[in-house]
Amino acid sequence: MNPKTKILIVDDKPENLFALRIVLKDLDVDLVEATSGNDALKATLRHDFALALLDIQMPKMDGYELAGILREEEKTKNLPFIFISAVYTDNLNIFKGYENGAFSFITKPFQPEMLINKVKFFIDKHKQGITLFDLNKNLEIKNKELDLLNKDLESFSYSVSHDLRTPLRAISGYSAILMKESCAKLNVDENRMLNKIWENALNMNNLIDCLLDFSRLGRKGVTKSSINMNELVMKAIEEFKAELVTKKISWNIREILPVKGNKELLTQVYINLISNAIKYSAKKDEPIIEIGCQVGDKEISYYVKDNGAGFDMDYKDKLFGVFQRLHLPGDFEGIGIGLAIVKRIIEQHSGRVWAEGETGKGATFYFSLPA
């Protein structure tokens, strides 16, 4: 159960305190009363207030002096307060009240509704502040939990990779030996099954590599430098040199503007996007891949476009999830983690990713970086 909002009312005359109680009686608040500046200061040590209503004309310590002390104390430096006075009502004193940090100045006599509305405003403001504080606190807790989960994921990935690689090495190694030395002794079906064992061992090893790459992302800050993106793209295409010998792809490489980022990570982004473009356009009679950029007010959007299989835009939100695939494994190879890696890298660069496509007509994958 949430405690009631507390309001401090300070006045040396009991009848004035009584009058304020009557005016504010319908508000769901706790009123804490003080008949002097010293009592008011003691009250601020014991309670957290949303608002203070201060009389100005008091003996020993008047409202102005009290306000000055409240502003100097760490706990109360942001406490909003309203001066209420029947004596100091001229413009000079009203100005002095605001000069001392008052959020409002009410002169007596006043309409009760005016005070009630002002008090309600500060109650709402106080509650919003508490809600925002709680949300920030929860966000901090969630971020710490997420950080621990990321560390656990990385530890788990390394552990699993170590445990799986040993039997995988044996499977792929012995399969390779059998394929080399015994394939002549095996019939067609036996050779086909042996090839499947070897291929799946390689695929599993690739999956482990991808999982490790994904788990490592985000563990360290991104070191940025100025990057010639034209050179970076050509370097990424070079990675597919052997594969491209057997594929007749028409390349349309437009001018790609430089940007600040991590060269190694952005190279990985282009390798993943170009790999997808090659894979999904390979079955076209005339595969075309276009790479370029578009300049906005605050960002540069880079893109890789193909005329391949495309995708249904109804499922666009699934594209960048881990292990998410929009095509059957038999149609196109892959494990569904490449675009998730792209998304994480670009988010590390304070950018965003998205895609547009049409089934059978191709797809365009975008990533933006701050200009």
| CA 244 – CA 370 distance, rounded (Å) | 32
Instruction: Compute how many other C-beta atoms are within 10 angstroms of the C-beta atom of residue 82.
Output: 20
Residue 126: inside a domain: no
- How confident is the model over 104-152, as pLDDT tens digits? 677 777 788 888 888 888 888 888 888 888 888 888 888 787 777 666 6
Q: What whole-number percentage of the chain has pLDDT above 70?
A: 83
Nearest to 52 by CA among 34, 38, 26: 34
Domain count, the chain: 3
| CA 310 – CA 280 distance, rounded (Å) | 8
Of 83, 110, 137, which residue is a domain's last?
110
| Tokens 């430098």 belong to residue | 225
- How confident is the model over 69-79, as pLDDT tens digits? 888 888 888 88
Of 259 and 328, which is predicted with more confidence? 259
- How confident is the model over 44-61, as pLDDT tens digits? 899 988 888 888 888 888
| CA 40 – CA 62 distance, rounded (Å) | 11
Of 196, 216, 236, which residue is a domain's last?
216
Are the C-beta atoms of residues 40 and 8 closer than 8 Å to each other? yes
| CA 11 – CA 108 distance, rounded (Å) | 13
Q: Which of 79-88, 148-157, 346-355 has the highest mean pLDDT?
A: 346-355
Are the C-beta atoms of residues 326 and 359 closer than 8 Å to each other? no
| CA 144 – CA 140 distance, rounded (Å) | 6
Instruction: Compute how many other C-beta atoms are within 10 angstroms of the C-beta atom of residue 7.
Output: 24
Nearest to 192 by CA among 175, 208, 204, 172: 175
Residue 191: inside a domain: yes
**How crowded is the C-beta side of 106, counted as CA atoms within 13 Å?**
21
Tell me the two tokens of residue 273. Answer: 């996007």
Confidence check: pLDDT of 323 > 60: no
Q: Are residues 246 and 297 in the same domain?
A: yes
Check residue 369 and report its DSSP letter: E
Q: What is the pLDDT of residue 258?
A: 92
User: What is the domain range of residue 230?
Assistant: 225-370
Residue 144: inside a domain: no
The pLDDT of 62-72, averaged and rounded, is 84
Q: Are residues 265 and 347 in the same domain?
A: yes
Nearest to 57 by CA among 91, 93, 81, 24: 93
Are the C-beta atoms of residues 368 and 349 closer than 8 Å to each other? no
- CA torsion 188-194-197-198 (nearest 10°) is -110
Residue 116: inside a domain: no
Mean pLDDT of all residues belonging to the chain: 81
Of 216, 243, 261, which residue is a domain's last?
216
Q: Are residues 86 and 28 in the same domain?
A: yes
